[in-house]
């Protein structure tokens, strides 16, 4: 949900029409990415009631650099800061006091809750959720000074951004260490410290974070698929035995197969004709 305006703040939001040439709403490079990743730039915009793209809403107390590109229909709430050359897709919500570092890329419909900190050069794909006060770091070996005692500057260290793949969510006050990738539709529990990559659909929790369950696109833990074969042996290409398990989402009915700690969706929820099952 968007962060409500606080009673003590009465300033009106800045509303930027998406057709404006203002740098805040300028379209970024519409071309695709050379690395084949999801294109986070040049979004077409969300249609409003009149068919035109929804305007960008920026609260007067927010600090948005003039070179940042904010997608249509996005809202930037009180005291949030968006640094230079950051790119936000359409329909994003940046909560009160949240921070988006220089050249950070956010896809469409990304939510940063209050006081979430996303440091450069992080990359968040479409539909990502970052919970309140969660931190995506960027320095594996942080120091304020170098061995000679001089203050370190930008060129004195190497920033490693966190990548959060489509639909994934990071819970409140979680910390994700620099250079980590959070897989598609994964879920990081509140307060977790993530020190290794998180697989697609994994629910991780704890310090350090470990996988405790699998989740589907609805974020609900998966249950064993009674209609399938449950746990069964399999055979890899090299002739070795593999552990194969089948799972189902009790919320959507989507089915999954797990082979040696890797989960794949085999029946998407939007195409599954079976009735939805809920745990007793």
More confident residue, 36 or 237: 237
**pLDDT band of 61, cuts 50, 70, 90:** very high
| Residue 57: other Cβ atoms inside 10 A | 19
Which of 86-95's residues contact partners 24+ apart within 8 Å by CB, and which partners?
87/28, 87/40, 87/41, 89/40, 89/43, 89/126, 90/43, 90/44, 90/45, 90/46, 90/53, 91/46, 91/54, 93/2, 93/3, 94/62, 95/2, 95/3, 95/132
Stretch among 29-33, 116-120, 207-211 having the lowest mean pLDDT: 29-33
Q: How far apart are CA 114 and CA 77, in angstroms?
A: 9
Using CA atoms, how far residue 274 sits from 113, 270, 279, in Å, is: 35, 11, 15
Mean pLDDT to the nearest integer, 213-242:
74
Query: Residue 82: inside a domain, yes or no?
Result: no
Residue 271's pLDDT is what? 46
Query: Residue 108: inside a domain, yes or no?
Result: no
Domain hosting residue 251, numbered range: 223-267
Q: Is residue 42 within 8 Å of 29, Cβ to Cβ?
A: yes
Query: Residue 247: inside a domain, yes or no?
Result: yes
Residue 243's pLDDT is what? 78
What global pTM score does this model have? 0.78
| pLDDT, tens only, 159-182 | 999 999 999 999 999 999 999 999
Q: How far apart are CA 146 and CA 80, in angstroms?
A: 31
Tally of domains in the chain: 1
| Residue 54: other Cβ atoms inside 10 A | 20
Query: Residue 9: inside a domain, yes or no?
Result: no
| pLDDT, tens only, 108-145 | 999 999 999 999 999 999 999 999 999 999 999 999 99
Residue 1's pLDDT is what? 43
Residue 188's pLDDT is what? 98
Query: Residue 235: inside a domain, yes or no?
Result: yes
Residue 50's pLDDT is what? 58
Residue 52's pLDDT is what? 67
Helix (H, G, I), strand (E, B) or coil at 202: strand
Query: Residue 260: inside a domain, yes or no?
Result: yes
Mean pLDDT to the nearest integer, 145-152:
91
Query: Residue 238: inside a domain, yes or no?
Result: yes
Percent of the chain with pLDDT over 70: 71
Mean pLDDT to the nearest integer, 75-96:
97
Residue 33's pLDDT is what? 33
């Amino acid at each position: 949900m968007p962060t409500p305006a606080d009673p003590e703040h009465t300033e009106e939001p800045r509303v930027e029409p998406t057709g404006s040439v203002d740098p805040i709403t300028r379209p970024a490079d519409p071309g695709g990415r050379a690395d084949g990743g999801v294109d986070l730039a040049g979004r077409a915009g969300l249609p409003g009631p009149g068919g035109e793209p929804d305007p960008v809403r920026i609260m007067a107390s927010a600090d948005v650099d003039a070179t940042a590109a904010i997608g249509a229909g996005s809202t930037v709430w009180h005291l949030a800061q968006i640094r230079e050359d950051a790119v936000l897709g359409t329909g994003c919500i940046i909560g009160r006091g949240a921070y988006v570092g220089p050249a950070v890329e956010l896809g469409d419909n990304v939510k940063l809750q209050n006081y979430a900190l996303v440091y450069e050069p992080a990359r968040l794909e479409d539909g990502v959720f970052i919970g309140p006060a969660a931190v995506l770091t960027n320095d594996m070996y942080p120091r304020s000074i170098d061995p000679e005692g001089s203050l370190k500057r930008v060129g004195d260290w190497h920033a490693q951004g966190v990548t959060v793949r489509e639909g994934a969510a990071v819970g409140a006050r979680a910390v994700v260490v620099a250079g980590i990738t959070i897989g598609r539709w994964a879920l990081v529990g509140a307060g977790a410290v993530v020190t290794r990559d998180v697989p697609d659909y994994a629910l991780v929790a704890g310090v350090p974070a470990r996988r405790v369950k699998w989740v589907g696109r609805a974020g609900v833990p998966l249950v064993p698929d009674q209609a399938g074969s449950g746990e069964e042996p399999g055979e890899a290409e090299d002739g070795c035995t593999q552990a194969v398990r089948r799972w189902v989402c009790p919320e959507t009915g989507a089915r999954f197969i797990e082979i040696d700690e890797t989960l794949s969706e085999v029946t998407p929820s939007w195409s599954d004709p079976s009735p939805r099952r809920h745990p007793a």
